[in-house]
Amino acid sequence: MEAIEHLLEQARQGEAKALSTLYHRFLPGIFGYIAIRVPDRATAEDLTSEVFLQMIEGIHHLKATDEAGFAAWLLRIARVVVAGYYRKHARQPVMVPLPGESWEEMQKASLVVSSQPASDDPASWMETREEWQKVVEAINTLTEEQRQVLVGRLILGYDVATVARMIGKRVNAVKALQFRALKSLQRLLGKQDESIHPQQERREKTP
């Protein structure tokens, strides 16, 4: 894998290949960070585009020279873009997905297989569109640092030391953040699971 310092330098000099490499290396992380915070794929793709277009505008003035610094910079742009999206849509909470972009279609291409019924496991909340909405809501209640740790560790696949440099924290703090992030998600998704069940039980009892 090419060194990020070299790629950044080349991208600043206008090398299209370096820019493409940077884009492909960071696209999964940025898309993942955004997709986990907005309810549909079309919006996630729009906002991801916005982040990378801003990357083009700002890369010439960027001071970061290492992978963690560059990832942190992109995630900062992504955070602002997502915040802007929620500000803009504050009065329009209902979002309609584009046809052909439904989760069901993605599911066909997915390798995710669950052997457990949805009600048994908080993680199974990710398996339908409505359930994914619950995951997005739960993720949005985490702190920004917790979200960045999850993206860094689970999507970008960084080690704890890199994530620590990325968010400007100590290694032990990152370990605590990832533990707390997953515990909070587990609790939040579990709580939503429980809050649905009494309604279902009531419905079942109604003649």
Count Cβ atoms below 10 Å from residue 30 Cβ, excluding itself: 25
Is the distance from CB of 189 to CB of 125 less than 8 angstroms?
yes
Which one of residues 31, 70, 73, 85 is an interface residue with another protein (CB under 8 A)?
A: 31
166 in contact with another protein (CB under 8 A): no
Burial of 146 (0-12, 13-18, 19+ CB in 10 A): buried
**Candidate segments 56-64, 66-74, 82-90, 198-206, binder of another protein by CB under 8 A:** 56-64
Which one of residues 4, 7, 8, 36 is an interface residue with another protein (CB under 8 A)?
A: 36
Closer residue to another protein (CB): 111 or 203: 111
1 in contact with another protein (CB under 8 A): no
Which one of residues 73, 81, 122, 164 is an interface residue with another protein (CB under 8 A)?
A: 122
Nearest-Å Rg of the Cα atoms of the chain is: 19
56 in contact with another protein (CB under 8 A): yes
**Candidate segments 62-70, 73-81, 121-129, 196-204, binder of another protein by CB under 8 A:** 121-129
97 in contact with another protein (CB under 8 A): no
Query: Taking the complex as a whole, how short is the minimal distance between the CB of residue 57 and another protein, in angstroms?
Result: 6
Query: Taking the complex as a whole, how short is the minimal distance between the CB of residue 158 and another protein, in angstroms?
Result: 8
148 in contact with another protein (CB under 8 A): no
Backbone CA torsion sign across 94, 100, 105, 110? negative
Calpha distance 50→186 (Å, rounded): 31
Burial of 11 (0-12, 13-18, 19+ CB in 10 A): buried
DSSP letter at 109?
A: H
Which one of residues 14, 93, 198, 207 is an interface residue with another protein (CB under 8 A)?
A: 14
- Paired tokens of 207: 């003649």
Calpha distance 64→8 (Å, rounded): 9
Which one of residues 6, 89, 183, 191 is an interface residue with another protein (CB under 8 A)?
A: 183
Query: Taking the complex as a whole, how short is the minimal distance between the CB of residue 87 and another protein, in angstroms?
Result: 23
Residues contacting residue 55 through CB under 8 Å, at least 6 positions apart: 22, 23, 74, 77
Closer residue to another protein (CB): 81 or 135: 135
96 in contact with another protein (CB under 8 A): no
Query: Taking the complex as a whole, how short is the minimal distance between the CB of residue 93 and another protein, in angstroms?
Result: 19
Is the distance from CB of 195 to CB of 203 less than 8 angstroms?
no
